[in-house]
Structure formats: C-alpha cells, structure tokens
Structure 1
Amino acid sequence: MSLYVAEQRPDAGESVLFLHSGNVAGWMWTDQAEALPGHHALVPDLPGFGRSAHEPWTDLASTADQVAEVVRERAHGGRAHVVGLSLGAIVGVALAARHPELVRSVFASGAILRGMRGIGRWAGLAQVPLWDRPAYWKFLARAYRMPADSVDLFVETGLGIDRESARRMVPEIYDGVPSALLDGLHRLDAPVLAIVGEKEPRTFRDALGEVTSRAPRAVARLAPGMHHVWSLEDPYLFHETLAHWLTTGQPSPALLPVGPRERSTPAAR
C-alpha cells in the first residue's frame, strides 16, 4: 500500500511538498497550492488520514520515510521544498533530518518538537475518544474559524481518521521528537524557516530552538497576531509569507523576530 497524493501542475517549476496538520488531510492545502502557479505541488494524505486512512500510522520515523518516497518518485529532480503545519511541520522536520538530500527548503509552522506536558497533554489525549462524534468535529470547525464551505469535509475527514493510528500517533507526538532523530538536521544543507503564531502557547515557541540549534541554515520567526492554524486565520498572510520564502529563501519582512532563548536552546533530553 502507498499514500494517496494529490498533485497540481506537474509541468511547473520546483516541487513543493505540503504536509497537513493532525485533524484534517491534504485538502487543507488546496487553496495555498493553487496560489503558487509557478510550482509543482505534491499533497499527500498522511498515514491514517483522508484517502490514506487504509495505511496505518506506525511511528514518526516511518511516516517521514514514506513521505520521502513520495519526493523521490514524484518531485522534480527528486527534491522538494517542504511545507508543514502542526503535525505536518513535525513530519517535515523529521523528513529533513532523515533524508536531507531530498530537501530544497523547509517551512515549518507550529511544530511541538518537545511534545506537550501538563494540562495541555491531558486535554489533548482526552479528546481522542471523542473523534468518532460529529459534534466534536463541528465544535473544532467553529474553534478554527473554518469557512462554512469546508465544515462538512472537515467533519467527514475527522470521522474517517483511523482510530488505531490516532491512538499511536497522538501520544508519540505529545512525548516529543527524540533528540537522536533531530540530530540529523546537522547534515541539512538547505534553508529552514521555523515559525510559530505570536499568540500560540509558550510550548510552541520554546520548541523553535530544537531546529535552530541544529540546522545550520535555520531561522525562527513569529507570525504576528496569529494562533496555531493561521493558514485559516489569515490565508493571505500565510500565502505571502510562503511565497516570499519560496522565491527568496529568506523570511518575509511581515514576520517578527524571536528572542535568543527561542533561537538557540534545545531541550535537555
């Protein structure tokens, strides 16, 4: 079995790999991919999600390896720019660490690479048993300020997530990515932009150092006034930031700098 991959503009320029967050599937990137007419877009559904629900999530490293095969087989020149949000950002960082030769650049937003502790962890794990209830997904759709024309698809996707995959994936992500996996970023000779929303919890901002302390060409920025799912909160800002990155390899001036703590301090694990 293999991952389902949506594709746009196979005859366009350099390939961009879009990796979705943990409550949806690749369709979340449709508008952003369409807004980049000069690029070839590859948009997989990750294991356990969407049209890849038949493909079980086993662990993060295996998922990164599966995504690497998509790049090898379908990206132009066997390399791609990697764009990820939330779970997708974690998978994208793992891909860059394990397969640096496949990566042109990384744009990773909201990656909780140190995992989740305390009440945040408890609340996240407690939600997994609710994933088979339509009311839960409708509530999330309102919380994410999702456009009305996307709500039905969001609910359908949520109800279709493979439950056993979710029970493996959520605790693994909340445990944090092992340092041994992240240390592969030292071999990455590609630019990396690690972003968190300015209004995200401190946990997300603290994790920036896991990337910037390892990847030689990594920088960290804040998305001004944004929460976690800012691709929905302000699609125009997200697009402008992403387009600037893909065009120049530099952070957009619209982003905010972060302090020295977030730039350089990995966790002691």
Structure 2
Amino acid sequence: MSTGANTDSTPSANTSLPFDSINPTGKPTILLIHGSFSTGHDWDPVIFHLRKTTTYHILAPDLPAHGRASALPFTVASASSHLATLITNEAHDGKAHIVGLSMGAYVAAHLASHYPDCCPTVFATGFNIRDPSPSFLAPIAPSVFWGMQSATDLLPRSVVEWAIDADLPVSQKGVVTKALCAEILKMLEPASVKENVGVVRARMLVVAAMKSGIVPSGDRVEDARGVVELAREGAGTGEIRVVKHAGMRHAWNRQDPDLFARAVVAWVERAEVVEGFEDV
C-alpha cells in the first residue's frame, strides 16, 4: 500500500484553512474531508490511486483544530464555512465533488445542505450517531473520550494496524484535545445531527462500512439511514442512495484505498457502484 501523494501547489492565502492542491490543472475538483484526529494527509493512499487512473483536481485541506489548522476552533458549521470559501476560491468553476469520512461526513452533509451551489455530488461514509451521555456522566465524558484516544498512541503501531486491518497515518501529536473531544461528542448526538444535516439536493451516496472484530470499528446501517432521512426531508431533493459493505471498516480509506478511490470515481461519474457494496 502506497502512502505517498505529491502535491503540485502549497496552501494559499485565499483561505484561512490550509490545504494541498493536487493536479490543479485537472478537472473537475474533488474535495476530500478527513475524519477526527487526523489531517488531509490521511487521504494520501486514496490520492495515490486517484492519480493513477484519473485527472481530477483534488483538494485535501486540514480541518479546524487539526494539523496546520490546529489554531482554529472546530465546529461542524465553522468547518463547513471554511470549506465553502475554499471551494469558491480554489475549485474549478467554484464547485467540488465532496467526499467526507467520519467527522468529515458530517461536515460534508452540512456543506451540501447549507452551500448547495458548490456541491454537485456527495460521497459520505462513517456516520455514527450516539445517545447523549447521562446527565451525571456528561461533565466527564470529554475527558474519558480524550483518555481513550490518547491511549492509542501508547500501543505499538503494528498492533493497532493489525487490529483494524488498515495502514495508520502518521500520528499528529497535540491533535487530541479535550475541547475537540467535547465538540465531537456533541456532534454525534441526535439533536446536533438534526441541526447539522439539512436537506441535500445534490446526488448523495451514504456508505456504511460494517466490518467489526477485536476493534468495534463497524458503522451502523441505522445511523446511515437516519442521516439520509434528514437529507431527504422536503421536496426537490436529489438522488440519495445508501449502501453497505460487510468487508470494510470505518476507516476503509486506509484499509483499501484503491477500492475507496474507485468507489468515489464511480459515484462522481454516474457508473455502477463498485464490487462488494449492497443497497440498503
């Protein structure tokens, strides 16, 4: 599995959100939105495969509170606003096909529903909705979550990669903060999901990667359906489809980046969804 992706330009002063632009002369633009505690470089293996077979222009930003944007506070709405500006300034024709993973999936859904003119298609994977913490646990939930995430760095890299069937990106020290953990927990609560996911008029594919195991890393189909119900509310919505894959884990962009790249291209180009996916 290759993890390299050569960029053709450096972050621009046109937006406060740092990003890499790959193949800037290609058309159209695909925007890759990473998950929590990561950076745009989490997409490097997928970008490697996209560059082998396509000529798309690719934007891979660091979200607020992550990587080069660590000084910016994160909320789904603020990340979406930053990305809308990035698309306006850097994407071809001011539009981009949106790809979001995990936390990035929620940002993608917000972006598509609140800035519809810049998003012709959406490919979102890894939605997970949690019940709010009991009132007596709510004050300590972010600290517990922070401790669990921080503990991962104490385990041998090879052990973690074996447990999740995936190549890990380079660890980003300092990304896991209690403030960010609190915002992510809030993002996953049903009330916040309903607030962040509005009606989507773009063509939208929602993927549930269901493989679990030693690490409970499978997505839940019912959560994918819940998000789609919100995206479909009202009249005039575009084509929205839900699929599942029994052999892929939550972070399947690292587990099988070739499959991920082919699935994205298939959706963008209105081709058949690639092998292994089943309609829900």
Q: Do the aligned residues in 1 keep the contact of 2:166 with 2:251 (CA within 8 Å)?
A: no
Q: Do the aligned residues in 2 keep the contact of 1:78 with 1:102 (CA within 8 Å)?
A: yes
Structural mapping, 1:133-212, within 5 Å: 134-135=153-154, 138=157, 140-147=160-167, 153=170, 155=171, 157=172, 159-161=173-175, 163-176=177-190, 177-185=192-200, 188=201, 190-199=202-211, 204-212=220-228
TM-score, normalization by structure 2 = 0.77
Q: Which residue type is aligned with residue 236 of structure 1?
A: D
Q: Do the aligned residues in 1 keep the contact of 2:36 with 2:102 (CA within 8 Å)?
A: yes
Q: Do the aligned residues in 1 keep the contact of 2:76 with 2:196 (CA within 8 Å)?
A: no
Q: Report deviation, 1:136.
A: 5.5
1:35 pairs with one of 49, 52, 55:
49
Provide the C-alpha distance between the structure 2 equivalents of 1:144 and 1:24, rounded to a whole number of angstroms: 16
Provide the C-alpha distance between the structure 2 equivalents of 1:193 and 1:207, rounded to a whole number of angstroms: 14
SS of 2:17's partner is coil
1:240 aligns with 2:262: yes
Q: Which residue type is aligned with residue 208 of structure 2?
A: V
Question: Aligned-pair RMSD on alpha carbons?
Answer: 2.9
Q: CA 1:127 to 1:82, structure 2 compared with 1: closer, same or farther past 3 Å?
A: same
Q: CA 1:247 to 1:9, structure 2 compared with 1: closer, same or farther past 3 Å?
A: same
1:95 aligns with 2:115: no
Q: Which residue type is aligned with residue 235 of structure 1?
A: P
TM-score, normalization by structure 1 = 0.80
Q: CA 1:233 to 1:35, structure 2 compared with 1: closer, same or farther past 3 Å?
A: closer
Q: CA 1:203 to 1:226, structure 2 compared with 1: closer, same or farther past 3 Å?
A: closer
- Residue 238 of structure 2 corresponds to 216
2:126 pairs with one of 92, 100, 110:
110
Q: CA 1:23 to 1:146, structure 2 compared with 1: closer, same or farther past 3 Å?
A: farther
Provide the C-alpha distance between the structure 2 equivalents of 1:68 and 1:174, rounded to a whole number of angstroms: 22
- Counting matched residue pairs gives 246
Q: CA 1:145 to 1:203, structure 2 compared with 1: closer, same or farther past 3 Å?
A: closer
Q: Which residue type is aligned with residue 262 of structure 2?
A: E
CA distances 1:51-109 after superposition (whole Å, capped 9, x unpaired): 1111121x211221111111111110011000111111111111111111110200000
CA distances 1:99-140 after superposition (whole Å, capped 9, x unpaired): 11110200000112x335679x99886231355563168465
CA distances 1:21-75 after superposition (whole Å, capped 9, x unpaired): 1131110111212322310000011111111111121x21122111111111111
- Residue 82 of structure 2 corresponds to 66
1:83 pairs with one of 83, 89, 99:
99
Provide the C-alpha distance between the structure 2 equivalents of 1:161 and 1:137, rounded to a whole number of angstroms: 19
Provide the C-alpha distance between the structure 2 equivalents of 1:253 and 1:49, rounded to a whole number of angstroms: 33
1:127 aligns with 2:140: no
Q: CA 1:146 to 1:96, structure 2 compared with 1: closer, same or farther past 3 Å?
A: same
Q: Which residue type is aligned with residue 174 of structure 1?
A: L
Provide the C-alpha distance between the structure 1 equivalents of 2:197 and 2:267, rounded to a whole number of angstroms: 23
Q: Do the aligned residues in 1 keep the contact of 2:125 with 2:206 (CA within 8 Å)?
A: yes
